[in-house]
Amino acid sequence: MTTYKLAVIPGPGIGAEVVPEAVRLLESTDLTFDCRYMEIGYEVFKKTGTPVPDEVLTEIRKTQACLFGATTTPVGVPGYKSAIITLRRALGLYANVRPAKSYPIQKSMKDVDLVIVRENTEGLYSGMEFELPDSAYTLRVITRKATELITRFAFDLAMKRRKKVTVVTKANVLRKSDGLFLEVSRKVAEDYPDVEVEEAFVDVTAMRLVLKPHIFDVIVTSNLFGDILSDEAAGLVGGLGLAPSANIGADYALFEPVHGSAPRLAGRGIANPMAAILASKMMLDYLGENRWAERVEKAVVSVLEEGKVLTPDLGGSSSTKQVTDAIIDAL
């Protein structure tokens, strides 16, 4: 039987509380995992001068996938760049995949089943910034290569789903950068005659997500727009406590809850572990363990349906550990 080698990076805050729970759930399956715990981020930066040291990257590359919790990115520390953004770029994880699906809870809109595919390496998160006296600049970078990769990824995904792609830009204003994004996406679309393509502006899309989320299947967009729209979509289906994501590259993938370290919630043992557990479900799919992936999702859904063991963000009063226990029992 295969042993899956995993890099496990819980990170600070609630990352350190939910990731061990996801690992506990993985270990309750009949699969075997070799978990290698690692650290990146601000504490590492203070010791080594870089948030993601080369040695850690080397260790990560020896594994098949990474389960990641969260980072805390302090604002206004000179020379510091977000560890997770640095890591995504270093590992070439070009596609950030964020599903939003209706779950059986009160706060969830019905009939939502969409995936936001967000370009993960450039856009307004290019990291290219500079200052002049009394002004500051961030470069929005859109390249033909990265756009082709991300749009192709979205169309391939749509072929396995309801065969619809919404290409989201602001090409009417960002004429150069989103003009290119649109041009490349149209070219890629030619290879997928069975997929229905819709082009939409980001502002209208934000509104339609709230009014008619069920019309969307796969949404593909650049980095910042995808970041915002995916948090919005998460809000529609129950909040950050339920939102998982995958960061996928040509030969490696990292799975994480959409949420961050939530410092104010940390240390109380009541963070919702479901987002991290659903992220590990996405990882099981990636590793080819689709049957276990399905069982994990069903177990989460049954705990939600029963509604007895929930963390406070979903209106319950149970702890992180109790929720994981209930999911493991349902498995």
Chain positions contacting ligand NAI, by CB under 6 A: 14, 18, 70-73, 84, 240-241, 256, 259-265, 271-272, 275, 311, 313
**Nearest residue to ligand NAI on Cβ basis:** 260
- Bridge-based pairing state of the strands 244-248 and 95-101: antiparallel
* Residue closer to Mg ion (CB basis): 227 or 297: 227
User: What, of ligand NAI, Mg ion, none, does residue 241 touch, CB below 5 to 8 Å by kind?
Assistant: ligand NAI
The minimum distance between CB 265 and ligand NAI, in angstroms, equals 5
Answer yes or no: 94 catalytic.
no
User: What, of ligand NAI, Mg ion, none, does residue 227 touch, CB below 5 to 8 Å by kind?
Assistant: Mg ion
Answer yes or no: 125 catalytic.
yes
Taking CA atoms, 296 is separated from 2, 44, 150, 186, 285, in Å, by 19, 33, 28, 37, 11
The minimum distance between CB 227 and Mg ion, in angstroms, equals 5
CA dihedral 255, 259, 265, 266 (to 10 degrees): 30
Catalytic residue among 113, 156, 231, 285: 231
User: What, of Mg ion, ligand NAI, none, does residue 115 touch, CB below 5 to 8 Å by kind?
Assistant: none
Answer yes or no: 329 catalytic.
no
Dihedral of alpha carbons 229, 235, 240, 246, sign: negative
The minimum distance between CB 178 and ligand NAI, in angstroms, equals 24
The minimum distance between CB 243 and ligand NAI, in angstroms, equals 8
* Residue closer to Mg ion (CB basis): 85 or 158: 85
Separation of alpha carbons 45 and 28, rounded Å: 34
User: What, of Mg ion, ligand NAI, none, does residue 121 touch, CB below 5 to 8 Å by kind?
Assistant: none
* Residue closer to ligand NAI (CB basis): 189 or 276: 276
* Residue closer to ligand NAI (CB basis): 222 or 230: 230
* Residue closer to Mg ion (CB basis): 98 or 152: 98
Q: Which helix (H) or strand (E) holds 254?
A: strand 253-257
Binding site for Mg ion (CB under 5 A): 227
* 223 φ/ψ angles, rounded to the nearest 5 degrees: -55, -60
Separation of alpha carbons 196 and 162, rounded Å: 9
The minimum distance between CB 124 and Mg ion, in angstroms, equals 13
Residues facing residue 219 across a β-bridge:
116, 166
* Residue closer to ligand NAI (CB basis): 123 or 260: 260
The minimum distance between CB 47 and Mg ion, in angstroms, equals 27
Dihedral of alpha carbons 183, 188, 192, 193, sign: positive
Structure tokens belonging to residue 137: 């600049």
Answer yes or no: 170 catalytic.
yes
User: What, of Mg ion, ligand NAI, none, does residue 259 touch, CB below 5 to 8 Å by kind?
Assistant: ligand NAI
Question: Tokens 């959409």, residue?
Answer: 258
Q: Count CA within 13 A, CB hemisphere, residue 310.
A: 19
Answer yes or no: 231 catalytic.
yes
What is the number of helices (H) and of strands (E) in the chain?
A: 11, 12
Catalytic residue among 80, 170, 286, 325: 170
- In order, the DSSP letters of 299-321 are HHHHHHHH-SS--GGGT----HH
User: What, of Mg ion, ligand NAI, none, does residue 71 touch, CB below 5 to 8 Å by kind?
Assistant: ligand NAI
Where in the sequence numbering do the catalytic residues fall? 125, 170, 203, 227, 231
